Structure 1
Amino acid sequence: MIKVAPILYTYKTLSNGEHPIMIRLTLKGKRRYIGLGVNCKANYWDDINNLPSKKHPHQKELIILINDLVNSISKKIYTAENSNTVLTLDELANSILNIAIAPTQSLSAFIDQLCEKLKENGKIETHNIFRSTKNTWLKFFKKDSFYFDDINSNSIHDFEKAGEKKGNMPSTTFLYLRTLKTIINMAKKERICNPEYNPFQEYSFAKFRRIKTRKRAISREDFRKIEDLEIDEKSRLFHSRNYFIFSFYAGGINFVDLAQLKWAHIEKTQLYYTRKKTNELINVPLVGQAIKILEIYKRYSNCKKDDFIFPILSEIHATSISITNRLHKVNHQINQDLQQIGETLKLDVKLTTYVARHTFATVLKKEGISVSIIGQALGHEDEKTTRIYLDSFGSDIMQQAFEKLS
C-alpha cells in the first residue's frame, strides 16, 4: 500500500532560508516527492506531527491545504484498491498534479522570491522589471501586499484606466500587465496557484500592438547647436555631451553598449561590437566627429585592448549587478546633464541618450538614405529585417551613408 506523508524537504534550502513543503509517497522502499508550491522555515515546522507549528503565521491555512491534498490522495489510493487496480507511484504522482491547489502565498511575496533568484543569477534587468511591476501594483492597491485573488478582469481594467489618468504611456501599462501575466504563468507552473487561474482570459493585448510609441528626435540644426555649445572640459556636462554626440555618429549606439565599449572594438575607422539587447554583431564606420571624440578619450586611457574607451566603467565593476547599478546611475546623471543642455539651448525636445539614437535614423532618412540602410527601427519591431538588409550591403555603401552625418 502506498504511504502518504507531508514533510519539510530540508535537503533543499531557498535563498530566504525556507524549505519546500512536500508530500512524500512511499511504496516498497521507493519514494516520490510532490511539491505543494509553498515553503516553510525549519523553526516553524513541527517535526513530530509533520505539520507547520503554532509559531507559523499561516499555520491554519497551511494545515488545511496539506490535509486537503493528503485526503485527496488517500481517496485515490482507496478507490484504486477497491477496484483492484494496481496504482504505481508515477501514476499517482501524475494524477496529483491535476489536483487544484488554492494559493496561500501572496502574489507579491512570490514576486519577491522570483526577484531573489533573478538577482542571484545575475539577471538584473529582469529583476528590476519584476520589482517595478510589483511596486506599481502595490501602489495601485494601496496596501503592503496583494494576492492572486486581487488580480481579476475588473482590477486589470481599473489598473489600465488608472495609468491613463496618471498620464502613463500605453507602452508603460503594457509592460506592467505583460510582466504580471508572465509572473502568474510562472506561479502556475510552480503550482503556487490553481493551474486554471487566468485573470487575463478576457483581456486583449492587441490594442497595445496598434499603438506606436511617440518618436523623439531633434533636427540637424539643433544637433549642431549641441555640438557647438561651449562647455568646460573639466565638467561632467562635457562628457555627457560627448557620449550623446558619439552615439549619434556611431550609428545610434545605445548607452548600455556605449558604456561597455573597449579599444578592442575599434579597428582603424570601424566599430565592431555585440549589441547586449539582441546579441547581434554590429559593424559601423566611424566618421568625422566620432573619431575626434575617440582622440579625446585616448588621453584618459592607456588604450590597451581590454581598457574601456569611456570613463564610465572600471575594473571594480566586475559583476553583472555592479555593472547594471553603475550604468543605471550614470545614465540618470547623463540624462540630467542633457536636459540641462537642452534647456540652455531652449530645445523643444527633452534630451536623453535615446534622442541621439533616434536622431541618427531621422537625419539620414531626411538625407534620402534607404530605410534598410538606416535601420529606422533601431532596437524596435523591424530590427531583424533591418539587420538582414544591412548585412547585404557592401561597406562602401555604408560608408557613404554615414558620411551624410557629417
Structure 2
Amino acid sequence: MKANILLNTTDRKKSNFFPVIVNVSHKGKRMRKQIGISIPEDWDDVKKFPLPTHPEFDDLYVRIAEIKAKSITSKFTSINDVKIALAYLLKEGESKNKIDFIKFSRYQIKKLRQSNRNGSAFVYDKIIDDFEHFKPTCDFGEITLVLMERYKEYCKDKGSKNSSIKTYIAGIRRMYNLCCRLNGIPNERPFEGIGRDLYHNKRRGKNIYISKSTVKKLENLKLSSNSQQRAIDLMLLQFYLGGQYLKDIYYLKVNQIYNGRAFIKRLKLGDKAEEFDVKIFKKAQKIIDRYALKDNVYVFPWSKGDKEYHKFRQSHYYTLRRVFKENQIETLPKNAAVVTRTPRHTFATIGKFKGIDVDIIRELMGHERNDMDTVYKDKFPQKVKDKAHWEIIKT
C-alpha cells in the first residue's frame, strides 16, 4: 500500500485554486480524496507541503504531516483495501470538523479579489468581520443551528435590521456550502428555517425606472450645485451607454473607447466577464468630454479603489435622491426613491415598451447569458443594435 500527496493542477475547480489530494494505491487499484485547496504560489511542489503564505498553513501543514507519518507505518502498509487505507489516513469525519471556518472564508475572499470580483470580496469581508467579532475562533463543526440562532440574536441585540441580518446569514451559508463542496463534507443544513422570523419590507429596486419625458426633463435641468449636476450627468450617461452599471462607468478607461464606441466588461463578473461594445452617441460624448482629463488612464478623474468607490457611490446615491426630491421628479411605477440602477431599468423598460427585441436589449446591456444565448451572441448586426439603441435613448 502506498500513499502520496499532490496539488492536482489538472483538476481546476475554480478560477485560480486547485484541490490538494491524498492518493492511495495498491496492486493497480487507486482511491483519492481532497483534503484542501491551494494556489500554486502557496504550494511547495517538491516537499508536497503548503508554504507559510497559505491562509490555512497551520491546519493543512499539520494534517499533511500526520498523513505522511501514518503512510509509512507498518499498520498502513499491511492494509490490502484502498478504501480502508484511505479512511485510516484521514480519520474520516474527525479532522474535517476542525477546519478553521474563518480562515477558510478569508481564503475564498482572497480568491475573489484575485479574479477581480472586488465588489463581492468587499461584501464578504464585512460579513466575516461581523461573524468573527461574534465568534473569534470557529471550527467548521461548530456551525450548527444553535450557533446560528445565537448569532441572529447577537445581530438583533446590536440593532441590525432584519434585512441586514438575512444578508449576513446568507453570506455565511454560502461559505459553509462551499466548504462542504470543496472538502467532501456532508451538509448538516444548519441554516434550515433560520430566517423565517426576519420579516422586512422588500425594496422594489428592480422596478424603479423613469419615463422618456422624465429623461428629457433631466436633460434640461439647470442645477447650480456641481455635485448635483455630476450626479445627473452620470445617471444620464449610464442610460445613454445602454443602461450600464455605475461601477462600470466609474472605472471606464480611456483605452476602452475606440472609434466612437465603448468596449465594456462588467466588473461584477470578474474574469468571467465577456467584452461587449455600444455606440457612443453625441449626448453621451458631451458628458464624457465635460469630465475627462487628458493623459489619464481612466475617463473620469475620481480616485479609484474599493473604499473610494463605495464612498463615491453612497454620496452619488444621496445626491440623486436630493435632486429628485427638490425638483419633484417622479419615478415609476410607484414614485419610490431613485436608486443607482434606475438608469439600467429605465433603458430596459423603454426598450420593451418600444417593442424592441429582448435579445437586442440584452446585448446592448451586456446581460449575462445562458449557454444557448452564448452560442448565438452577436447575432444582430452592429447597425441593427445601434438603431435600436438610438430609439431607446432619443428624446
TM class by smaller structure: 0.5 to 0.7
Relative to 1, partners in 2 of residues 1:22 and 1:274: Cα closer, same or farther, differing over 3 Å?
closer
- Displacement, 1:227? 2.1
Counterpart check, 1:308 vs 2:298: yes
Please list every run of 5 or more consecutive structure 2 residues that lacks an aligned counterpart in the other structure: 3-47, 196-201
Equivalents in 2 of 1:178, 1:377: separation in Å?
A: 32
Residues 242 and 383 of structure 1, relative CA distance in 2, 3 Å threshold? farther
Q: Is contact 1:118-1:126 (8 Å) kept?
A: yes
**Superposed displacement of residue 343, structure 1:** 1.5
Which residue of the partner structure matches residue 221 of structure 1?
213
* 1:356-395 pair list within 5 angstroms: 356-375=343-362, 378=365, 382=369, 391-395=378-382
> Take 2:257 and 2:115, find their aligned partners in 1: how far apart are those partners?
31
* Corresponding position: 1:293 with 2:287: yes
1:180 aligned to 2:180? no
1:238 aligns with 2:229: yes
Secondary structure of 2:208's counterpart equals: coil
| C-alpha separation in 2, matches of 1:17 and 1:100 | 19
Spell out, residue by residue over 1:190-218, the C-alpha distance to the aligned partner (whole angstroms, 9 max, x if none): 86xx933532596799xxxxx99742212
Report the equivalent of 2:124.
130
How far apart in 1 are the matches of 2:128 and 2:140?
12
Which residue number in structure 2 is paired with residue 13 of structure 1?
52
Matches within 5 A, 1:112-261: 112=106, 114-115=108-109, 124-135=118-129, 148=140, 151-153=143-145, 166=161, 168=163, 173=166, 176=168, 179-188=171-180, 195-199=185-189, 214-232=206-224, 235-261=226-252
| Alignment pair present for 1:33 and 2:65 | yes
Map 1:265-280 to 2 at 5 A.
265-276=256-267, 277=269, 278-280=272-274
Give distance in 1, aligned partners of 2:75 and 2:130.
Answer: 48
2:94 matched residue in structure 1: 101
Classify the secondary structure of the residue corresponding to 1:168.
helix
Point out where structure 1 has 5 or more consecutive residues left out of the alignment: 3-8, 25-31, 37-69, 206-210, 318-322
RCO (CA 8 Å, sep 6+): is it higher in 1 or 2? 2
| CA distance in structure 1 between the aligned counterparts of 2:287 and 2:369, rounded to whole angstroms | 30
Q: 3-state DSSP class of the match of 1:353?
A: coil
Q: TM-score, normalised by structure 2?
A: 0.64
Contact 1:226 1:241 in 2 (8 A): yes
Distance 1:111 1:271, change over 3 A: closer
CA 1:288–1:365 in 2, change beyond 3 Å: closer, same or farther? farther
Does the alignment pair 1:284 with 2:281?
no
Across the aligned residues of Structure 1 and Structure 2, the Cα RMSD in angstroms comes to: 4.7
For 1:279 and 1:114, how far apart are their aligned partners in 2?
19
Instruction: Provide the rounded CA distance (Å) in 1 between the counterparts of 2:378 and 2:49.
Output: 54
Kept in 2: contact 1:271–1:286 (CA 8 A): yes
- TM-score normalised by L of structure 1: 0.62
Q: Over residues 86-115 of structure 1, what are the superposed CA-to-partner deviations in whole Å (9 max), with x where a residue is unaligned?
A: 799x98566322522264566446535654
Q: Is the 8 A contact 2:99 2:139 kept in 1?
A: yes
Q: Take 1:16 and 1:126, find their aligned partners in 2: how far apart are those partners? A: 19
> Percent identity at matched positions?
18
**Which residue is 1:111 aligned to?**
105
Q: Which structure's CA Rg is the greater one?
A: 1
Partner of 1:208: none
Give the count of matched residue pairs.
328
- Contact 2:264-2:277 within 8 A present in 1 as well: yes
